Amino acid sequence: MKLSTLTSVGWCANMMLDRGEQAPFTFDDIFAGAENGGLVELLMKIDQGGMIEVWAGHPKMHDQAEKAFAEAAEALREREIDKTRIGDNPLCLVIALVLEAIQQQHYQKNLK
């Protein structure tokens, strides 16, 4: 998986945070999307510059991202406040998912 696939989502969330915008979804929406395989579509709602759209239309990249973000969400589920110290802003949870996915991808790569 390309690192840019993961970081593009973080950049989108970061831009919204900088502008003081609210996420168009909740923590529960994020975890539900991870469970039902619809997290990438949910994250497309914050893609105002086409950064996610670049890769989300490619089935292989879409599936890889869906899997990586679902695994990251599972690692943070019900531990997001303890592990990341966030609990109010879904955009911060998106950034936490990106960082968790990067950590997991790096760890898996180094096991090989």
User: Which stretches in the chain have pLDDT values below 50?
Assistant: none
What integer pLDDT is reported at residue 22 of this predicted model? 96
In tens, the pLDDT along 27-53 reads: 999 999 999 999 999 999 999 889 999
pTM: 0.89
Phi–psi pair at 86, nearest 5 degrees: -120, 155
Counting other chains too, the contacts that 46-49 makes at CB distance below 8 Å and 24 or more residues apart are: 46/9, 46/12, 46/13, 46/16, 46/91, 46/94, 47/12, 48/12, 48/15, 48/16, 49/12, 49/15
At 51, the amino acid letter reads: M
What integer pLDDT is reported at residue 83 of this predicted model? 72
d(Cα 52, Cα 58) in Å, to the nearest integer?
Answer: 11
d(Cα 53, Cα 50) in Å, to the nearest integer?
Answer: 5
